[in-house]
Amino acid sequence: MKKLCVILAAVFLLSVFQPSRALASDTYTSTTDSADGYIVKLKDTPANTVSLMENTELTEISSDACLYHADTISEIKELGDDVLYYEPDYKMKLAELPNDSYASKQWSIGYLGISSAWDAGYNGQGVKIAVIDSGVNLTHEDFAGANVLPGYNVINNSSDVKDEMGHGTFVCGLFAAARNNGKAIAGFCTDATIIPIKCFGASKETSASYIIKSIYKAVDGYGCDVINLSSGMEEDVRSLEEAVAYAASKDVIVVASAGNEGNSTLNYPAAYDCVVGVGAVDQNGLVASFSQKNRSVFVVAPGARIVSLSYKSNDTLTGDGTSFSAPFVAVAATILKQYEPSATINHFKEILKASSVDGGLEGYDTSYGYGSLNIANFIEVMKSYELRSISEIFPDVGGHWASTSIDYCYKNELFTGVTTSSFEPETVMNRAMFVTVLSRMSGETITGVPNSFADVPENTWFSAPCAWGAANGIAGGMGDGTFNPSGSVTREQMAVFLYRYAILYGLTDGNSSGTATLSTFSDKAEVSDWAAAAMAWAVENNLISGRSKTSLCPKESAKRCEVATIISRFAIAFSK
Write the pLDDT tens digit of every residue in 103-112: 347 899 989 9
Q: Read off φ and ψ for residue 392, nearest 5 degrees.
A: -75, -35
* Segment 269-279 mean pLDDT: 96
Name the residue among 571, 258, 291 with its Cα closest to residue 415.
Answer: 571
pTM > 0.85: yes or no: no
More confident residue, 458 or 371: 371
Q: Read off φ and ψ for residue 395, nearest 5 degrees.
A: -55, -25
User: What pLDDT, on a 0 to 100 scale, did the predictor assign at position 55?
Assistant: 58
Q: Does one domain contain both 320 and 332?
A: yes
Buried b (16+ CB within 10 A) or exposed e, 235-251: bbbbbbbbbbbbbbeeb
Q: For residue 159, what is the domain's CATH number?
A: 3.40.50.200
Domain boundary among 384, 415, 440: 384
Write the pLDDT tens digit of every residue in 469-495: 999 999 988 888 999 999 999 999 999
* Segment 255-280 mean pLDDT: 96
pLDDT at residue 219 is higher than 80: yes
Q: Does one domain contain both 134 and 252?
A: yes
Question: What CA–CA distance (Å, rounded) separates 114 from 427?
Answer: 47
Question: What CA–CA distance (Å, rounded) separates 418 from 395?
Answer: 12
Question: What CA–CA distance (Å, rounded) separates 412 from 415?
Answer: 8
Question: What CA–CA distance (Å, rounded) separates 528 from 523?
Answer: 11
- Worst-scoring range by mean pLDDT, 50-64, 314-328, 412-426, 510-524? 50-64
Q: Does one domain contain both 88 and 103?
A: no
Name the residue among 493, 570, 496, 490 with its Cα closest to residue 534.
Answer: 496
More confident residue, 98 or 503: 503
The dihedral region occupied by 80, where left means phi > 0, alpha psi between -120 and 50, and beta the remainder, is left
pLDDT at residue 176 is higher than 60: yes
Q: Does one domain contain both 66 and 182?
A: no
**For residue 435, what are the CA distances in angstroms to 247, 295, 459, 561?**
41, 35, 16, 16
User: What pLDDT, on a 0 to 100 scale, did the predictor assign at position 11?
Assistant: 23
Q: Is 532 helix (H, G, I), strand (E, B) or coil?
A: helix
User: What pLDDT, on a 0 to 100 scale, did the predictor assign at position 456?
Assistant: 93
Structural domain span for residue 475:
390-573
Q: Read off φ and ψ for residue 66, nearest 5 degrees.
A: 60, 40
With a CB cutoff of 8 Å and minimum separation 6, the contacts of 548 are none
Q: Is 226 helix (H, G, I), strand (E, B) or coil?
A: strand
* Segment 256-265 mean pLDDT: 95
Catalytic residue among 69, 140, 167, 347: 167
pLDDT at residue 20 is higher than 70: no
Q: Does one domain contain both 131 and 269?
A: yes
Domain boundary among 369, 384, 399: 384
Q: Does one domain contain both 100 and 114?
A: yes
Q: Does one domain contain both 168 and 43?
A: no
With a CB cutoff of 8 Å and minimum separation 6, the contacts of 110 are none
Q: Does one domain contain both 343 and 264?
A: yes
DSSP string computed for 238-301: HHHHHHHHHHHHTT-EEEEE--SSSSS---BTTTSTTEEEEEEE-TTSPBPTTS--STT--EEE
Catalytic residue among 214, 230, 257, 323: 323
CA atoms within 13 A of residue 571's CA, in its CB half-sphere? 22
Q: What is the largest CA-CA distance in the chain?
A: 86
User: What pLDDT, on a 0 to 100 scale, did the predictor assign at position 15?
Assistant: 24
Write the pLDDT tens digit of every residue in 94-152: 765 444 333 347 899 989 999 999 999 999 999 999 999 999 998 999 999 899 998 99
Catalytic residue among 36, 133, 236, 320: 133
More confident residue, 6 or 529: 529
The percent of residues in the chain predicted with pLDDT above 90, rounded, is 65
For residues 513 and 478, the answer to whether their CB atoms sit within 8 Å is: no
User: What pLDDT, on a 0 to 100 scale, did the predictor assign at position 422?
Assistant: 95
User: What pLDDT, on a 0 to 100 scale, did the predictor assign at position 515?
Assistant: 63
Question: What CA–CA distance (Å, rounded) separates 214 from 196?
Answer: 10
DSSP string computed for 46-96: GGG------EEEEEEEETTTTEEEESSHHHHHHHGGGEEEEEEEEEEEES-
Domain boundary among 34, 60, 93: 93
Q: Does one domain contain both 313 and 427?
A: no
Q: Read off φ and ψ for residue 3, nearest 5 degrees.
A: -105, 150
For residues 257 and 321, the answer to whether their CB atoms sit within 8 Å is: yes
With a CB cutoff of 8 Å and minimum separation 6, the contacts of 104 are 305, 307, 318
Catalytic site includes residue 133: yes
Question: What CA–CA distance (Å, rounded) separates 569 from 495?
Answer: 13
Question: What CA–CA distance (Å, rounded) separates 321 from 324?
Answer: 6
Q: Does one domain contain both 462 and 379?
A: no
Q: Does one domain contain both 72 and 121?
A: no
Q: How many domains does the chain have?
A: 3
**For residue 449, what are the CA distances in angstroms to 245, 324, 472, 502, 514?**
48, 52, 10, 20, 32
With a CB cutoff of 8 Å and minimum separation 6, the contacts of 423 are 394, 396, 397, 406, 410, 415, 417, 560
Question: What CA–CA distance (Å, rounded) separates 256 from 533?
Answer: 48
* Structure confidence at residue 514 as a pLDDT band (50, 70, 90): low
Catalytic site includes residue 523: no
Q: Does one domain contain both 78 and 120?
A: no
More confident residue, 211 or 314: 211
